[in-house]
Amino acid sequence: MPRIELKNVSKRFGKIVAVNTTNLTIEDGEYLSIVGPSGCGKTTLVKLISGVWESTEGQILIDGKDIANVPTEDRDLGYVFQGIELFPHMTVWENTTYAPRVKDWPDEELVKTGEDSLRLVNLLEMRETFPGQLSGGAQQKTGIARALATKAKLIILDEPLSALDARVRIDLRYELRRLVKRLGLTAIHVTHDQEEALSVADRTVVMKKGEIVEIGTPRQLYEKPRHIFTANFVGEGNFLEGSVKRMPGKWCQIELRNEQFLFVPPMDVTEGDALVLFTRPENLKFCKDFSTNSVPGEVREVQFMGSFLRYEVMLATDDPVLVDLPIQHERVYAGDRVMVEFNPIDTLVFERPPEGLREVLRLE
């Protein structure tokens, strides 16, 4: 049963540090997603686990055993490569049953596994087709079927859904999760799509520039991110810079730009500390009463999002914010002046990073 441990693992390509002194434990049976901007080291990390690359430093243990000298083919894992690498001269069936054939499984088992894997991705009727005649989506599904047909206990999926249409992508990610859970597999699912990362996983790893920024359950990362980068990368968010004005007891008063003030829950800070406030768009609303915990602003744009409306508001503090409200909400239009109410309970507070907020939020 695979439990994977990375201890101080680094991978350098010349001067490029693709993965920097990384520690990570993946539990047996866990569905782990890895998310982060393009180039942050996600693919490199899973290539180290699979043995495609050798790490420059550190140790990788599977079930307590150092696997440095175990070649990829003996690591008992199924791998769906980023950018689908199917064998072009083999049919869908031959691609899917590649591992069972190489490993010389009995015919009956090979056929059953191949059929089960293809049925799962809805490709059974395409079994005699060659990859060149398939759509990008069908190729990607073949790659998934091929990885499943290894019957390995660890499955590594590197951007496995990126070539699929939005609708299929959503359906298939739940299928993937269901399957992994049903078969008791351990899965590592790499994606740059934060929504996919959160919806599919038990735990999610957020990476930036070769390092793990934060690991948590999807809900922790969304509701209580510990880092500004996570708050920004995972879901939509609003950031306001301010400093501690005073702490009169129950709430702590924060001074924003242009003599605007908000209250947040009491914290371990002192007057004058530079902070960043963070809220999700669905936790803001409009109010009429000036005595509430609110900041005035002007609506710049209204977007129809299907199940809700998204208002882009420029606050008097010169901070742009998003406010998501139900459609039934009393209509507010671009150009209207509004009061934006902040719920102190849903407002997170971060120390203002010394390098500046913009720098921390940068994805590259």
Ligand X SMILES: Nc1ncnc2c1ncn2[C@@H]1O[C@H](COP(=O)(O)OP(=O)(O)O)[C@@H](O)[C@H]1O
Binding site for ligand X (CB under 6 A): 13, 16, 18, 36, 38-44
Site membership for Mg ion, residue 50 (CB under 5 A): no
Residue 147 to residue 280: CA distance in whole angstroms: 38
Burial of 256 (0-12, 13-18, 19+ CB in 10 A): buried
199 binds, among ligand X, Mg ion, none (CB under 5 to 8 A by kind): none
Stretch that binds Mg ion, among 42-50, 166-174, 207-215, 222-230 (CB under 5 A): 42-50
Q: Cα Rg for the chain, rounded, in angstroms? A: 24
∠ CA 170-173-177, rounded to 5°: 145
The pair of structure tokens assigned to 15 is: 């001067």
| Smaller CB separation from Mg ion, 43 or 347 | 43
Residue 342 to residue 34: CA distance in whole angstroms: 32
Binding to Mg ion, residues 71-90 (CB under 5 A): 82
Site membership for Mg ion, residue 191 (CB under 5 A): no
Contacting residues for 335 by C-beta, under 8 A, at least 6 apart = 298, 299
39 binds, among Mg ion, ligand X, none (CB under 5 to 8 A by kind): ligand X
Site membership for Mg ion, residue 43 (CB under 5 A): yes
| Smaller CB separation from Mg ion, 18 or 118 | 18
Measured in whole angstroms, the distance separating CA 209 from the mean position of its chain's CA atoms is 15
| Smaller CB separation from Mg ion, 40 or 234 | 40
Place of tokens 């993937």: 176
Kindly give the interhelix angle for 136-148 and 107-120, rounded to the nearest 10 degrees: 140
Residue, CB closest to Mg ion: 43
Measured in whole angstroms, the distance separating CA 135 from the mean position of its chain's CA atoms is 26
| Smaller CB separation from ligand X, 16 or 68 | 16
13 binds, among Mg ion, ligand X, none (CB under 5 to 8 A by kind): ligand X
| Smaller CB separation from ligand X, 31 or 53 | 53
Place of tokens 């809900």: 219
Stretch that binds Mg ion, among 37-45, 98-106, 222-230, 290-298 (CB under 5 A): 37-45
Minimum distance of ligand X from residue 16's CB (angstroms): 5
Residue 33 to residue 191: CA distance in whole angstroms: 7
270 binds, among ligand X, Mg ion, none (CB under 5 to 8 A by kind): none
Site membership for Mg ion, residue 33 (CB under 5 A): no
Residue 335 to residue 154: CA distance in whole angstroms: 54
Residue 89, helix vs strand vs coil: coil
| Smaller CB separation from Mg ion, 200 or 309 | 200
242 binds, among Mg ion, ligand X, none (CB under 5 to 8 A by kind): none
Minimum distance of Mg ion from residue 79's CB (angstroms): 13
Sheet containing strand 31-35, edge to edge, reads 77-80, 154-158, 186-191, 31-35, 203-208, 211-216
| Smaller CB separation from Mg ion, 43 or 186 | 43
Counting every residue written for the chain, the total comes to 364
Minimum distance of ligand X from residue 197's CB (angstroms): 12
Minimum distance of ligand X from residue 60's CB (angstroms): 16
Kindly list the residues in this chain that would bind Mg ion in the complex (CB under 5 A).
Answer: 43, 82
